Amino acid sequence: MVGATGCSRFGELVVVPTVACTNLVDQDSAMNTDTLLFSLVRYQPDLHRQEVVNVGVVLFTPRGTRVSFASNQGKLLALDPNFSLSRFFDQAKKMQVALTGLRDDRVPIEEQIRFFSVGAGITLSPTGMIDAHGDADEKVIEELLSNYVLAPVKRRYRAPQTSRLHTELRQVFRDARILGSNPTDISKHLVVPNYPIDPDVGLFAEFALKNGRLHITETVDFRVRVASSKRQEAQAKTLLLVQALESVGSNNLKRYVVVTGASAQVQASMNLLERHADDFIVRESGQDWQRYVDAMHRAASTEERPLH
């Protein structure tokens, strides 16, 4: 760990006030060792409420400025249920472009931070310092996101269970021999689980299939867990559906949502999902289910036995 006069230590993190420790702010000359500066990307929807959530990190390296966001959709929606998803992602992308330009213009790091340190929306924290130990930038970013952005992982005595609905769809695709195993299988007209939509912000489609258009499927099994947990899951799935539309475009995308276990308790969550789906399928409806499996069969263009 590398220290500096006037900087306070928190374990492996050294928080560096941007006015003090000015010997660390020249991005090209000061970071020729394993010690790197970083800043937390924060989202604050309302200045008066003073509620802030960490959504990403900026890592300043001699090779360039790296900006990475993590999936904190549950926190964001809890903080401000009415916030604009599209505006948030637009602000994030503008920050990436602006920081790259400031670095290219050799603007000192403390000035880059100050440029994004005030106002509502996306801001940057005072810089911190981390010892990379020779690790690649990606590993350092992963560590920072895990320590300061992502929600702490609850210790479990057994692996979390996948919903029965998800397992059922996976088995249907496997039986039809159209289930892929990695993202490159998307080019083979196979259904790919956990397909990256926007990996920089941690968004992955539950199932994806491409044949001209990208067909993505999200499932919510309302038969399990408590209603509040399912509300959070529905909000997270909605964020993915919105971002997929922004990233891919309506002409190149078909969004399916498959649900089961409908009840009055979860009706609001179902309505939210339905508003952002191109096709909303209730598993208990034979007509809905047949429409969905037929659509998947056509998109897969497989000669294997049909889905059932």
pLDDT of residue 101: 87
Using DSSP's 3-state secondary structure scheme, residue 195 falls into strand
pLDDT of residue 276: 94
- Domain residue ranges in the chain: 8-148, 164-300
pLDDT of residue 10: 28
pLDDT of residue 118: 64
CB 114 within 8 A of CB 18: yes
CB 266 within 8 A of CB 227: yes
pLDDT of residue 139: 85
Instruction: Identify the weakest region by mean pLDDT among 150-159, 183-192, 210-219, 228-237.
Output: 150-159
Note the pLDDT tens digit of each residue in 57-107: 899 888 888 888 775 656 666 666 666 666 677 777 888 888 888 888 888
pLDDT of residue 279: 97
pLDDT of residue 20: 29
Cα(238)–Cα(276) distance, integer angstroms: 7
pLDDT of residue 63: 82
pLDDT of residue 280: 98
Q: Is the pLDDT of residue 306 over 50?
A: no
Tell me which of 79 and 15 has the higher pLDDT. Answer: 79
What percent of the chain has pLDDT above 70?
A: 73
Query: At a CB cut-off of 8 Å and minimum separation 6, what does 26 contact?
Result: 108, 109
pLDDT of residue 74: 62
Average pLDDT, the chain: 78
pTM over 0.85: no
pLDDT of residue 226: 66
CB 193 within 8 A of CB 183: no
What is each CA distance from 257 to 37, 72, 169, in whole angstroms? Answer: 42, 21, 12
pLDDT of residue 18: 30
pLDDT of residue 73: 59
* Structural element, H or E, at residue 254: strand 253-260
Give the highest mean pLDDT range of 33-42, 91-100, 133-142, 242-251.
Answer: 242-251
Note the pLDDT tens digit of each residue in 256-296: 999 999 888 888 889 999 999 999 999 999 999 999 999 99
pLDDT of residue 2: 34
CB 257 within 8 A of CB 277: yes
Note the pLDDT tens digit of each residue in 232-246: 888 889 888 988 988
The average pLDDT across 166-184 equals 93
pLDDT of residue 46: 67
Note the pLDDT tens digit of each residue in 111-128: 888 887 766 678 888 888
What is each CA distance from 254 to 169, 213, 231, 248, 274, in whole angstroms? Answer: 17, 7, 23, 10, 13
